[in-house]
Amino acid sequence: MTNEPQSPVRDKNYNLVWALEASLHNVWQLETYIEDADRAGDSELAEWFRKIQHNNQKAGEQGKRMLAERLQREDG
């Protein structure tokens, strides 16, 4: 059980926007982690972060397309 309150917004588009924002935020944050690992000479860790970053970028692009399509359908 989590201590975090449930979202007051029970909406699939809100959930999509949240996941999209989280994915894109991770892409940005991982850039710092990659730079830190590179600076420390840990190429294995930097590469692992790059893979995660790539997956988040891919999820973000998919999420943007999905959101645009869904909002367009709802607007008729």
What's the pTM?
0.78
Model confidence pLDDT, tens digit, residues 20-75? 999 999 999 999 999 999 999 999 999 999 999 999 999 999 999 999 999 888 87
Q: Is 76 exposed, middle or buried, given 0-12, 13-18 or 19+ CB atoms closer than 10 A?
A: exposed
pLDDT at 61: 97
| Cβ pair 23, 56 in contact under 8 A | yes
Q: How far apart are CA 24 and CA 49, in angstroms?
A: 14
Model confidence pLDDT, tens digit, residues 4-25? 656 666 788 899 999 999 999 9
- Extract the tokens encoding 15: 């959930």
